[in-house]
Amino acid sequence: MIAADCPSIYAAFAASAAHWPDRDMLCVLPETAGVYGIEAGNIRYSMVSGLVDEIAGNLADAGYGAGHRVMVLLENRPAFFLWFLALNKIGASIVPVNPDLRAAELSYMVGHAEPALAVSVGSRVDDLAQAAKEAAVTMPVIAPGDPVPAPRADANIAKGEQEKAEAAMLYTSGTTGQPKGCVLPNEYFLMAGRWYAGAGGLCALSTDGERMITPLPIFHMNAMAYSLMAMIAVGGCLTVLDRFHPRTWWQSVRDSRATCLHYLGVMPSMLMGMAETENDKNHTVRFGFGAGVDPKLHEAFENRFGFPLIEAWAMTETGAGAVICANHLPRRVGESCLGKPGADLEIRIVDDHGNDTGGAPGELLVRHAGDDPRRGFFAEYYKNPAATGEAWEGGWFHTGDIVRQEPDGSMFFVDRKKNVIRRSGENIAAVEVESILMRHPAIRSAAVAAVPDAVRGDEVFACLVVDDPSPQMAEDITRWCLTQLAYYKAPGYIAFVDVLPLTATQKIQRGELKTMAADLLEAPGTHDLRHLKKRSAA
């Protein structure tokens, strides 16, 4: 377990490595190894410790230390965790990069974070170097194993010491268009590990050698804060796949000897769509931990595969400072139930005027109980004190999620207040997609909304005003978007319209836009372009 006085992520890891040196910490399955061209097998805590110390030593010798930010684009490779721990050891902060990001997005991140260094898989070194050039940031970019150059002389230095020191800066989409940099201190990760290790109930973890498998992106908080830190806390082993492969998923689960797994709602839907086999319950999984399972499939999934799917709620900003989990009996299977708030969490449910709803659905406001209401949360939105203040207006963190609560305390997710499209676990800001669309020479006006998708939760629907609409133009626009944006942000549907719903001040009327998109979804003139949205699109 992570000690109460543990000051950093690396210190927590070092303690576990000293206690369980011969246990497996990371597992690389042959399928993942084949995708990345790396060695398959288990990596013990003692081996990880040696590799981390080597990287940390090279960084320190080159002049890196407390407060330096380093961008890291290493996909879902185990090397990501090595660099994360090494940077933490020397007091530096990691800025994870989604490998699906394109030129404009990378350039924005570099210009905003102003890191001292970037570390990337070899195939993306030139992309990051070009992004730095476009952002006018003289940032060195290296691949793992390359000599480490001196840090950029004018790099910004993060503040804080020990558990309050910045450990990572994760970028999350919001309603303002450009992603915001969430500054996450050591405390954020330590509390996530402690929370998971002590959650108990149906997702109880022991120190007897847990093995967790996840296909989720390791540049998100779920894998970084919950998966990694939970396994460190209990001396467990983490298996990370390059991505979710439905056809080989259960074989991966068996090969990894997983005792628990992480999921997003799209995964159970895909797995339930596959033919039943006699091996459906041939595994060692005790529980799945995640969010967004289709209520109609929840009970059927558990009956078929033989373990509970434990739904939970948290955000990048909240971490374990405010987490809700349905890990205790009695359960409300198939009702989108998030569970009941624990004793360390205070909540309010308010209307648009900030008044308590009295039982009706409303926006969820949260804070940590006790003297420090922000304990375990993100520290700030980097370079954006106004957004940080707005999020914490009145001393409560405003989640933007609409929920309802029953008299027994059970909470249920209703909808999202924020104008964010959530596709297969990725948050997409409509304003960001709109701003890119408006750069296309054929588009005079653009508005983007979410429409339901049976597999991915939401899909991106674009209403566009152009001079000469045609099916070929719709395809050309989406293909162009795929060169400007991560593939999942590009429009999955395009409808050409005469006018957009606007206010008197020419702002998009989001409510009317959502209704328009829903009405147009099945209309003859709407173009379904979802088949173009693939990771390999370029």
Cα 174 to chain centroid distance, Å, stands at 13
Looking at residue 176, what is its pLDDT? Answer: 46
Alpha-carbon distances, residue 297 vs 195, 332, 415 (angstroms) = 28, 13, 19
Q: Which of 490, 499, 532 is nearest to 105 (CA)?
A: 490
Write down the architecture of domain 420-532 according to CATH.
2-Layer Sandwich (3.30)
Strand partners, 182: 170, 381
* pLDDT bucket at 537, cuts 50 / 70 / 90: very low
Alpha-carbon distances, residue 170 vs 313, 346, 472, 483 (angstroms) = 18, 25, 37, 23
Q: What does the pLDDT average to over 293-310?
A: 94
- Taken in order 324, 328, 331, 334, the sign of the CA dihedral is positive
Sequential DSSP letters for 173-220: --TTSSPEEEEEEHHHHHHHHHHHHH--GGG---SS--EEEE-S-TTS
pLDDT in tens, 200-238: 999 999 999 999 999 999 999 999 999 999 999 999 999
- pTM score: 0.86
Residue 113 has pLDDT above 60, yes or no: yes
**In angstroms, rounded to a whole number, what is the distance separating the alpha carbons of residues 46 and 40?**
17
Domain ranges of the chain: 9-401, 420-532
- Taken in order 388, 316, 321, 237, the sign of the CA dihedral is negative
pLDDT in tens, 246-283: 999 999 999 999 999 999 888 998 899 899 999 999 99
The answer to whether the 9-401 and 420-532 domains have the same CATH topology is no
Q: How many CB atoms lie within 10 A of CB 162?
A: 14
CA angle 241, 199, 180 (to 5 degrees): 60
pLDDT in tens, 51-86: 999 999 999 999 999 999 999 999 999 999 999 999
The average confidence (pLDDT) of the chain is: 93
Looking at residue 518, what is its pLDDT? Answer: 94
Residues 427 and 420: beta-carbon distance below 8 Å: yes
pLDDT in tens, 341-356: 999 999 999 998 999 9
pLDDT in tens, 166-176: 999 999 864 44
**Is domain 9-401 given the CATH code 3.40.50.1000 in the classification?**
no
Residues 217 and 223: beta-carbon distance below 8 Å: yes
